[in-house]
Amino acid sequence: MTIHRKQFTKEFKQQAVRLLEEGIKPVAVLARELGVARNKLYLWQQESQTKGEGAFPGQGRRAPAEAELARLKRENERLREENEILKKAAKYFARDSG
């Protein structure tokens, strides 16, 4: 079973931190409206304060070429694993038939 985590863009995180720092709404209300855990807001705020513009360097929205490259790398790894399994199976059956 695959677990899918929510991914947020750099812009979303920056906006959430700005709203948090404005203090117009209680943190619990803001977190609920944004669909984010309250502690995540505090972590984003801390990262924003310590790293400034270098905060939130993650993937965010990938360019189409980057997304395609990542997909191809995953597919390549899967195919390598399948190839290894087939090699082992071929050796096993060659040994049995001889």
pLDDT at 33 over 90: yes
pLDDT digits (tens, 9 = 90+) for 50-89: 888 888 776 555 667 877 888 899 999 999 999 999 999 9
Q: Report pLDDT for 1.
A: 59
Which CATH architecture is the domain 8-61 placed in? Orthogonal Bundle (1.10)
DSSP the chain: -PPPPP---HHHHHHHHHHHHHTSS-HHHHHHHHT--HHHHHHHHHHHHHHGGGS--S--SPPHHHHHHHHHHHHHHHHHHHHHHHHHHHHHHHHHH-
pTM equals 0.55
